[in-house]
């Protein structure tokens, strides 16, 4: 892992492709990736910016969600993480990291494509944490298909339920528990603005996340609650080798970015902290791109 506090050339700060082939069955495990992603396990240093806060992060077992969870705990928050039961190995590691920082961890395994679970999950997070100040909706489904004929109704349905329906169900359940000063963050993608041909359903949902969150922000600010979107570019997460990209693209993942490499999850963590802390008090309805130079427009 690199020292993130030392001045250095960002193009060479983290591993660059080519990467080895590493197919996994969805949803996959971060611990099996080569090179292993940096979620901030040893590299993120906190400064108490979220002391006493209580957060719920979906998809908190790996990838960008895991990086946000680690950062939140290092900044003083107690955190509940949502994940699929198949991701228990990764989730167990995250729970240990939260607890090692002296914060409370709540593990919430379940399938967010089920409305009843989404609502129960929120209620359990609120009950076990003793409240809720931060909601990060990050869990996502990405499975490439080479052409439109291959995107089955089952594919389309599961992607929309994971990325859009679950977001709505979780927001509905959580908002009554949020008070003024709370924050909601959704995770979209550069795919919302520059969609790949092989990610029809995924790109559609990411554009929907942007629109939903910007509309939600207009409602929430009337309650003193901020809502924002983070839109990553190519980030080295288990989403990619577990069906999100063909293996030949996994091997070259991030190479086409201006940096010549993919981003690491920890490189997004400070943005999630900013948008949930009082340092981001005048930020709402915004889309924060962390794209390796591609921008969002």
- Helix, coil or strand: residue 185: strand
- Partners of 81 in beta bridges: 57, 107
CA distance 230 to 135: 13
Handedness of CA 20, 23, 29, 32 (dihedral sign): negative
Catalytic (active site) residue 144: no
Are 60 and 94 contacting, i.e. CB atoms less than 8 angstroms apart?
yes
Q: What is the CA radius of gyration of the chain?
A: 18
Helix, strand, coil proportions of the chain in percent (round to 5)? 45, 15, 45
Are 102 and 96 contacting, i.e. CB atoms less than 8 angstroms apart?
no
Which of 44, 144, 193, 202 is flagged as catalytic?
Answer: 202
Instruction: List the structure tokens of 115.
Output: 């409305």
Residues annotated catalytic, as ranges: 202
């Amino acid at each position: 892992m690199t020292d993130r506090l030392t001045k250095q050339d960002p193009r060479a700060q983290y591993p660059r492709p080519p990467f080895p082939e590493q197919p996994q069955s969805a949803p996959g495990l971060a611990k099996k990736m080569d090179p292993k992603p940096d979620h901030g396990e040893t590299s993120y240093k906190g400064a108490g910016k979220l002391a006493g806060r209580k957060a719920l992060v979906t998809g908190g077992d790996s990838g960008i969600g895991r990086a946000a969870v680690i950062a939140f705990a290092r900044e003083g928050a107690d955190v509940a993480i949502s994940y699929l039961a198949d991701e228990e190995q990764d989730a167990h590691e995250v729970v240990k990291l939260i607890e090692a920082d002296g914060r409370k961890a709540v593990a919430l395994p379940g399938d967010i494509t089920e409305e009843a679970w989404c609502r129960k999950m929120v209620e359990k997070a609120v009950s076990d944490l003793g409240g809720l100040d931060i909601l990060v909706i990050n869990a996502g489904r990405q499975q490439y298909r080479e052409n439109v004929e291959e995107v089955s109704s089952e594919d389309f349905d599961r992607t929309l339920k994971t990325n859009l329906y679950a977001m709505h169900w979780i927001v509905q359940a959580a908002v009554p528990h949020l008070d003024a000063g709370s924050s909601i963050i959704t995770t979209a993608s550069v795919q919302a603005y520059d969609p790949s041909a092989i990610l029809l359903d995924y790109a559609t949902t990411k554009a929907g996340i942007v629109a939903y969150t910007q509309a939600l922000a207009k409602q929430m600010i009337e309650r003193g609650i901020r809502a924002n979107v983070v839109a990553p570019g190519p980030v080295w997460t288990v989403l990619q080798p577990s069906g999100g990209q063909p293996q030949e693209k996994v091997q070259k993942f991030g190479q086409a970015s201006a940096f010549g490499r993919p981003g690491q999850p920890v490189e997004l963590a400070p943005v999630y902290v900013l948008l949930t802390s009082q340092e981001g008090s005048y930020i709402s309805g915004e889309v924060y791109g962390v794209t390796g130079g591609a921008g969002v427009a």
